[in-house]
Amino acid sequence: MQQKTKPRSNQVRSETTQATLIAAARRVFVEKSYAAAATPDIVVAAGVTRGALYHHFADKRALFAAVVEAEAAAVAATIEAATPAGLPPLQALVQGGEAFLDAMAVPGRTRLLLLDGPAILGRAAMDAVDERHGGRTLHEGLTAAMEAGVIRRLPVAAVTTLLSAAFDRAALAIEVGGDADEYYEALAALIHGLVLK
Amino acid sequence: MQQKTKPRSNQVRSETTQATLIAAARRVFVEKSYAAAATPDIVVAAGVTRGALYHHFADKRALFAAVVEAEAAAVAATIEAATPAGLPPLQALVQGGEAFLDAMAVPGRTRLLLLDGPAILGRAAMDAVDERHGGRTLHEGLTAAMEAGVIRRLPVAAVTTLLSAAFDRAALAIEVGGDADEYYEALAALIHGLVLK
DNA sequence: GCGATAAACATACAGACTGTATGCATGAAT
DNA sequence: ATTCATGCATACAGTCTGTATGTTTATCGC
């Protein structure tokens, strides 16, 4: 038995409450989708009250944004861990791509980052999230490959966006039972198609 | 002045009511997004009551599905009108793609078909919509190009999905101010990258 | 350590929305 | 012409979101 309420500093109190809320919200958002996830459900899952939720987050949407941000950070961390620096540009692209697909296989991630995220927060906000986290990988990889003269010189931003979209859709397709190998092959073909002959 | 209520057959009554509702719903869904669009708003815009809405549609989501279906059909019609049959496979792909981007420039289409649609109806349902309408174009185009030996032999379904995703993202990017020419160039590069050397 | 202030919560409330149930009116069927 | 079914309007129950208010717990000056 521990003491009833061991005194905690306000900082850790806030941090743990927010973390618990974000974790619980993630579960409910994933299980029921953003629209169907009710704040009463979330706070019960977190073991707090709605008062705590609205004290720490402006509204349900802000809580969702925090969940998305954390999820994107987790994806980025996974990718970085899987792609050592110093690889040849082209291989870094393909390998990073596979790491991305692996990371997106974690249950709920496609729903959070690829379906509800864009709809609730907007494509622009999601782009900003990507930019803060993993998106850089692809962008820098393509830029490096172009400057190294490995692939065609093209508008980098546009190509990044389009390839990113292709990876996203591949993650979605694989999740619903699509043959992962076929998507790997198709993605590799798209990337290698950019290689200067 | 016309008579107060000229008798209409039940069929036309239903059809016109549904059409008015779908048109009004489209406006409200586009203006406020699916989540923020309230059925009271929609029925006021349509000049009917919520009773009529729930008589013709199971729920708000079903009404949204009808809007999406109509929108996808409109996009498909535009594309077909712009891409005469009998073009060489590769040119048909590029030209059809540009027609797609033009069609998606109609205000609200990206929100309906690329943001709210996937989130509310699910990616699978949107794929089914695509399949019933415009999606075939791309799929058949790629298949034809492959069988003609113009492009690499790859899993057609996967490549179709990925290119479709790229076109979708391009439409979104252009809508928020992205340079259309850059995306055209990048898309063309992706397609031409599949060409057998 | 002690009072004052502010932060972290909990509870209560107002407004709005969704879906259903019920009632009425108009076209269809015989 | 009467009966029935369809199209639609109104009323209602339950739920949710965001806010306002109250209470407890930590922080800060002394």
What's the rounded mean pLDDT across residues A163-172?
97
Is A8 a residue whose pLDDT tops 90?
A: no
The pLDDT of residue A110 is 98
Name which of A157, A166, A195 is nearest B162 (Cβ-Cβ). Answer: A166
- pLDDT, tens digit (0-9, with 9 covering 90-100), for A168-186: 999 999 999 999 999 999 9
A65 vs B81, higher pLDDT: A65
The pLDDT of residue B4 is 42
What's the rounded mean pLDDT across residues B32-58?
97
A159 vs B92, higher pLDDT: A159
Which H, E and C letters describe chain B, residue by residue? CCCCCCCCCHHHHHHHHHHHHHHHHHHHHHHHHHHHCCHHHHHHHHCCCHHHHHHHCCCHHHHHHHHHHHHHHHHHHHHHHHCCCCCCHHHHHHHHHHHHHHHHCCCCHHHHHHHHHHHHHCHHHHHHHHHHCCHHHHHHHHHHHHHCCCECCCCHHHHHHHHHHHHHHHHHHHHCCCCHHHHHHHHHHHHHCCECC
Is A5 a residue whose pLDDT tops 50?
A: no
Is A126 a residue whose pLDDT tops 50?
A: yes
Query: CB distance B154–A116 less than 8 Å?
Result: no
Q: Residue A115: its chain B contacts at CB < 8 A?
A: 118-119, 122-123
The pLDDT of residue B1 is 42
Q: Residue B162: its chain A contacts at CB < 8 A?
A: 166, 169-170, 183, 186-187, 190
What's the rounded mean pLDDT across residues B120-125?
96
